[in-house]
Structure 1
Amino acid sequence: MTEAGRTKRGAGWWLVRLVMLVAATGFAFARPAAAQSVLRDAETEALLNDLARPLIQAAGLQPGNVRIVLLYDRDINAFVAGGQIVYLHSGLLTSAENANEVQGVIAHELGHITGGHIIRMQEGVRQATGIMILSLLLGAAAIAAGAGEAGMAAMAAGQQAALGTFLSFSRVQENSADQAGATYLTRAGISGRGSLAFFRRLANLEFRLNIPQDNGYARTHPLNAERIDRLQGTYENDPAWNRPTDPALEARFQRVRAKLVGYVDNPQRVLSLYPASNRSVPARYARAYAYHRTAHPDEALAEAQSLLRDQPHDPYFLELIGQIQLESGHPQEALTVLREAVQRAPDQPLIAALFGHALIATEDPANFAEAKRVLRVAVQRDNSNPFAWYQLGIVYDREGDRPRAALATAERYSLTNQPQLALPNAEQAMMGLQVGTPDWLRAQDIAMTARAAVQRNRRSNRDQQRQPGQ
């Protein structure tokens, strides 16, 4: 290949790489949802729904259509990635001082949803891509004419201009979400103190990490100091500025926050944050989870039982005791407390799924009928729980109902994004189920969706294996 040929091919590579760069930047918000683990907990989800409900209504949305999803990630972050779903990182909840801070974040993310920002992100990508392509064409033309340095300079300038255009577009969206979030807090009668406190927390974190605060043009988000200045007057003039959070809601938040710390943080740090001398509800809750994670069931049970003595019949304390007993190898002992937990919180399918698991774990066939009944109700109320489908599949298999065991397995693999495994199980279920029944139709839907996904994956793999220029 001649030098000119190599130069032209190099220009083509610039085009491919830069277009991919902008596209990747545009979809950065969507990537974490698939890569991170979703944390499911009945008490936490109930709290987040109650924190968000007035804000969702203030945004003109229906609470039943908006989901708040918690991801296991230590970073202090939240985002939306299409649809009416707000993703919160576990690090955000564990670092928040109070419920009002979390409400401020949720209000901001709702601003992204109502503004259609994920869809409109494509506009920013197109603008940036257009600038890059034009600069690449001009640069390639200059290179072909023998002005190699000028051509490469044009390409580099185009890349910088394209990135600046996209970053500016992103900052505009963030400002829009800030203003919308402030509006929703006002409509809901919720103070903006938490929102400002959260931005200050981010500013302090960036300071500790030595992130420059003198160039707002090189960021996807405005500088936190600018956001505070822009919002402070609005919040301070709001009648809700001095309105405290409902004490019961705040107490629930502190419980959930400590529970989450106990579950995700280093056990030694948990015991340092919540020493044995601290007998508050949040402290005992955190220690119970820390002890359970480090295989100290006696200590974990002692903390959990002390909580239940103070608040008898609390479904979440009952759930914790049952979980400790079950996961410590005593499923029979867990049945009583988990059965009561289900009775006390009949609208919590996650607790029902745990109870169903305990019934199966006893290995007593006499418990299987109750397990099937409990788990069927659980998946009817929350069909997005792979664990519940897995347990239900076990029951069907023990009963010899192979088609429905295959259908439950197909549901599980479909939810965990494993279409190559969902497809054969759905097809197996269809072969054993009566044609036209609801279960058969559901298996057909899973099979069709999984087959299409498998074909897409194959095409994508083939495209990745092709070499550029071939």
Structure 2
Amino acid sequence: MKAPFSSRFTVTIAALSVFVASSTLKPSAVLAQGGIRDAEIEALIADYSNPILRAAGLGSQNIRIHLINDRSFNAFVVDGQNMFLHVGSIMKSSTPNQLIGVIAHEAGHIEGSHISRMQTQIARAQTAALFFQLLGIASMAAGAFGGGGNDLAEGGAAIMYGGQSAAMRSFLNYKRAEESAADQAAVRYLNVTKQSSRGMIETFKLFLEQSSTAGRGVDPYAQTHPLPQERIASLQQLAVTSPYFGQRDSPDLQLRHDMVRAKLDAFINKKNRAVVFRDYPDSNQGLPARYARAIATCYSQGSRAALPLIDQLIAAQPTNAYFHEFKGQCLMEEGGSMNEAIPPLRTAVKLAPRASLIRVMLAQALLASNNNAVLNEAVENLKLALVNETTNAAAFTQLANAYARLNKQADAELATANAYFHRGRFTDAKMQAKRAQAGFPLGSPNWLKADD
């Protein structure tokens, strides 16, 4: 049964509206839907993405990759500075090369300025759709008031629907072209970095197996992306000519990838130990499986049950900062022992001094220990962390707490102002900044920061 013209018209306009909304989302709005932070995962993603971004000429643009707590396989960009990666993309990528291909594709969108160009294309499509809407309304009005009857009214509806459908198809054709261009750019970056495009082909084959749109009866002109089989064919032609097509991921990188996948599985299912032990049974004595079981044990049976498993991991890789970090985290969150958490977190910071999130966790433990003798250590770790974590409101709040306990009221107020600012509470931020400014010498660095 065909939908009435009016309802089909509504669908077409609604579809364009969705594209407008999705292409103008702010990063904060996306992260509000469920962003996650983890030092180990972010370090791995940085190692994947940095060579690709440099190859794309984007190395100096400070592009941030945000992790979204969603198990589906997806990645996208909303502007020229931020890339978003569902954790499901990591979990479903069996090799680093597969995930690197996804990142390379999104980098192609950024390099090609596809978001800003797509917004222009959307505006054109909306203008065309609106023109046909007005033309159709005029025809329908002539039918209603000029004696033309139903023929003119139906003709006006047909003009509205047909014109908008053409506008929508024109936009979708443009979108598919941009996706193909991003695919080609991704292959170029992979070649520059001497990596294989095989992972991209494997990813699209996964899409082909899972996508309901790969069946018969699909209108290829009604898709925003080329159909998976088309992308595979196009990529295959480019990929097999590369001298790096047979290149494989190093064993060390594959192990790190598997560790992160196990970690995600365990944390996402941390309250369902049975699921984790099904995915990583005791019979699997590989390091990733042992990591997953240690995490699941911590959150299902507590830190005391998990500590022997964590210590075994540390014995296997004593210089792995993230094992020490997790020991501290487990003691903090499931053992309630802040003092016991401090030594492993200190070790983690020594092993990974640039891991700002571990410094923030150490500061949290130091502050929660209620030992005033470690307050300055907490402040120093937070200040170092905030060099990179410039928008981390929680870290600024901890810094404010530490300064207040050290009786440094103006510093505490300035840190509080920053915390409010990065939470979007601009009125409160301005009020706290004015209070802080009154406590600093006129023209001093902190006075100027408060003035900003």
- TM-score for both structures, normalised by structure 2: 0.89
Matched, 1:249 2:256: no
Q: Which amino acid aligns with 1:180?
A: A
Structure 1 residues 436 and 213, CA, compared in 2 at 3 Å: closer, same or farther? farther
The residue type equivalent to 1:182 in the other structure is V
1:79 is aligned to 2:86: no
Find the partner of 1:40 among 37, 41, 52. 37
Pick closer, same or farther for the CA change 1:435–1:17 going to 2, 3 Å. Answer: farther
Q: CA deviation at 1:213?
A: 6.8
1:192-220 superposed Cα distances (whole Å, 9 cap, x missing partner): 1111111111121214x887673221111
- Confirm or deny: 8 A CA contact 2:9 2:164 kept in the other structure: no
Structure 1 position 269 matched with structure 2 position 275: yes
Report whether the alignment pairs 1:382 with 2:379: no
* CA distance 1:404–1:15, change in 2 (3 Å): farther
Residue matched to 1:342: 349
**C-alpha displacement at 1:415, in angstroms?**
2.5
**What is the identity, as a one-letter code, of the residue corresponding to 1:53?**
N
Match of 1:138 in 2: 135
CA change 1:416–1:277 in 2 (3 A) is farther
Query: Of 15, 18, 25, which residue of structure 2 is paired with 1:24?
Result: 18
Partner residue, 1:199: 204
User: Residue 314 of structure 2: which of 308, 316, 320 is its match?
Assistant: 308
Distance 2:373 2:426 in 1: 34
Mapped partners of 2:35, 2:447: distance in 1: 29
Query: Is the partner of 1:363 in helix, strand or coil?
Result: coil
Does residue 419 of structure 2 align to residue 415 of structure 1?
no
Return the offset for 1:228: 0.1
Contact 1:397–1:405 (Cα < 8 Å) also in 2: yes
- Show the counterpart of 1:449: none
Q: C-alpha offsets along residues 248-306 of structure 1, whole Å, 9 cap, x if unaligned?
A: 11111111111111112354321210112322111111122222333522232222111
Alignment-derived partner of residue 151 in structure 1: 156
Query: Which residue in 1 is equivalent to 2:297?
Result: 291
- Residue equivalent to 1:324: 330
- Alignment-derived partner of residue 233 in structure 1: 237
C-alpha contact (below 8 Å) 1:267/1:290 kept by paired residues = yes
Percent identity between the two aligned chains: 37
Cα separation, partners in 2 of 1:20 and 1:313, compared to 1, 3 Å? same
CA distance in 1, matches of 2:301, 2:444: 46
Counterpart of 2:173 in structure 1 is 168
Residues 97-127 of structure 1, C-alpha deviations (whole Å, 9 max, x = no match)? 1101001101101100110001101221122
The equivalent of 1:464 in structure 2 is: none
2:234 & 2:405 partners in 1: Cα distance?
62
1:7 maps to which residue? Answer: none
Do the aligned partners of 2:97 and 2:249 also contact (CA within 8 Å) in 1? yes
**Separation (CA, whole Å) in 2 of partners of 1:212 and 1:379:** 53
Match of 1:178 among 180, 183, 189: 183
Amino acid of the residue matched to residue 174 of structure 1? E
User: TM-score, normalised to structure 1's length?
Assistant: 0.86
Most deviating of 222-231 and 384-393: 384-393
SS of the residue 2:83 aligns to = strand
Question: CA offsets, 1:297-339, max 9 Å, x none?
Answer: 2232222111001111321111110111122210111111111
What CA RMSD, in Å, does the superposition of the two structures yield over aligned residues? 2.4
Aligned counterpart, 2:149: none
Measure the CA separation in 2 of the matches of 1:369 and 1:396: 9
Alpha-carbon distance in structure 1 between the residues aligned to 2:376 and 2:389: 20
Q: 1:275 to 1:422 in 2, by over 3 A?
A: farther
Unaligned runs of 5+ in 1: 1-10, 446-470
Aligned residues: 433
In structure 2, how many angstroms separate the alpha carbons of the residues matched to 1:123 and 1:112? Answer: 15
CA apart distance, 1:394: 1.1
Matches within 5 A, 1:430-469: 430-445=437-452
- Structure 2 counterpart SS, 1:65: coil
In 2, the alpha carbon distance for the partners of 1:267 and 1:292 equals 10
Cα 1:17/1:254, change in 2 over 3 Å: closer
Aligned-partner Cα distance in 1 for 2:10–2:451: 39
Q: Secondary structure at the match of 1:294?
A: helix
Displacement after TM superposition at 1:18 (Å): 6.7
C-alpha contact (below 8 Å) 2:31/2:68 kept by paired residues: no
Structure 2 matches for 1:107-122, cutoff 5 A?
Answer: 107-122=104-119
CA distance in 2 between partners of 1:37 and 1:438 (Å): 36
